Amino acid sequence: MPVVVNVININNEKVGEIALSDALFGGEVKTHLMHEVVVAQQAAKRQGTHAVKNRSAVSGGGSKPWRQKGTGRARAGTSRSPLWRKGGVIFGPQPRSYEKKVNKKVRKLALVSALTDKARSQGIVVFDSFALEAPKTKLAHGVMQKCSLNRKVLFVVGDYDAPQVLALRNLPYVKIIRPEGLNVYDVVNSNALVFEQSVASLIEKRGE
């Protein structure tokens, strides 16, 4: 059974309804899969470039500091021992990848779960057309305020060169994304998923 959502205009007036794909917006909400994918997405953002020098990487220490016996001091073979000041670091961090493997099927089910949860919580707003008099941030902000979209809005657009993108991109509470870039973290992290009626078919292709 399709998920029916109201279609509004930029004056926040209902002008119709749209049936969204049940395969993408009417699935089962599996929070454990959503959590797995979000953790993987956040881990993949880590650069993993942190590094320290171990005893083989620090400079110096080629010769024995003093003879083995007769000085009264502890035995030492190198001045770059981890026990010494300016010596190498034991088991310090090294460059690594934090990426976690997530199966394609799991990613798809997690996205369906996120979109379904957003639909059930009435967090989806569909415009018939987000056409403004001019591509100005002030006009876009006025429309968003009128529609009570003032916190963490994920706006899906068909083209980054669209006029509404010029008007929306400077709003700090709006994140613009294309349908093919739709992901679990951005959906979960937003209070509202917004798109034009013409973009709905592009989003539904993600469920194919």
What one-character-per-residue DSSP string does 61-113 give?
A: --S-SS-SSSSSSPP-S-TT-TTSTT-PPTT------------HHHHHHHHHH
pLDDT value for 163:
84
pLDDT value for 141:
94
AA letter at 184: V
pLDDT value for 204:
86
pLDDT of 208 > 70? The answer is no
Mean pLDDT of 11-32: 91
pLDDT of 1 > 70? The answer is no
Q: Tell me the whole-structure pTM to 2 decimals.
A: 0.82
- 3-46+99-207: what fold? Ribosomal Protein L4; Chain: A; (3.40.1370)
Distance from chain centroid for Cα 202? 20
pLDDT value for 193:
96
Interval 128-178: pLDDT, tens: 989 888 899 999 999 999 999 989 999 999 888 888 899 999 999 999 999
AA letter at 208: E
Interval 49-102: pLDDT, tens: 999 999 989 998 888 999 999 999 999 999 999 999 999 999 999 999 999 999
pLDDT value for 52:
95
Per the listing, tokens 């020098």 go with 53
- What are the structural domain ranges in the chain? 3-46+99-207, 47-97
CA distances from 24 to 49, 65, 94, 134 (A): 37, 69, 41, 34
pLDDT value for 159:
87
